[in-house]
Amino acid sequence: AVARASLPVERHHPRVVRLAWQGSGAVERTVLIAGKGVTYDTGGADIKTGGGMAGMRRDKCGAAAAAGFILACARAPAELTRGLRVVVELGCVRNSIGSDAYVADEVITSHAGKRVLVGNTDMEGRMVLADCLSHLRARAIQEALPRPTFLSLATLTGHAKLSYGSYAVALDTAAARAAGGVGSKLAV
């Protein structure tokens, strides 16, 4: 739904880029990462105003970080990555405006089959990440991936900046905290 208004321009078509990497030895743990790759974010039908679009080309940095994690694993000493498998999905999309843009109050059915009421079209990153995480969850179940840990990487803009200012922030969700946090799951 997020990419509908970008479809008339071929170079703006959405893509899901899938990457995988595996260390030496039998796989003992799996890290599955969804990366937000919004190539440009206008805000959609809830258009960003007052210069708010400036810098939105950087809304793909979550996807870049996810791809960079695979590269870092590939370059790391083998003893640090033995038994590790990394699976990444990059949700690459352009949140454009146009006659077919998704709009507030529209109900979208996600990959997981859940209906989502769009409150503001500038929530495109959450829509994209939800579908990527759902793909990764299905893959983890289908392939019985050992000790799966799920991460989402995103550039937080707009409302996050209102909450935190111009600072980087990493947050565990309530579900991640209840499971002991993410950090302990990533440790060798």
Active-site entry in 29, 48, 85, 94: 48
The pLDDT assigned to 41 comes to 75
CA dihedral 44, 46, 48, 53 (to 10 degrees): -10
Phi/psi at 106 (nearest 5 deg)?
A: -80, 145
Strand 148-153 to 29-41 pairing: parallel
Q: Residue 91 and residue 152: Cα distance in Å, rounded?
A: 11
Would you call 126 a catalytic residue per the annotation? yes
DSSP 2: T
pLDDT digits (tens, 9 = 90+) for 42-63: 777 777 767 666 667 767 889 9
The pLDDT assigned to 182 comes to 60
Instruction: Give the SS3 label for residue 52.
Output: coil
Active-site entry in 126, 137, 147, 185: 126
Would you call 36 a catalytic residue per the annotation? no
The pLDDT assigned to 31 comes to 96
CA distances from residue 80 to 11, 143, 146, 167, 185 in whole angstroms, order as listed:
39, 24, 17, 30, 14
What is the mean pLDDT of each successive set of 10 residues along the chain, which is 188 residues long? 88 95 96 91 72 71 94 94 97 89 90 92 87 97 96 76 65 68 57
Q: Residue 179 and residue 76: Cα distance in Å, rounded?
A: 27
Q: Taking the CB of residue 158, how many other CB atoms lie within 10 A of it?
A: 17
- 42: amino acid identity, one letter: T
Phi/psi at 166 (nearest 5 deg)?
A: -85, 55
The pLDDT assigned to 157 comes to 62
Q: Residue 98 and residue 96: Cα distance in Å, rounded?
A: 7
The pLDDT assigned to 122 comes to 80
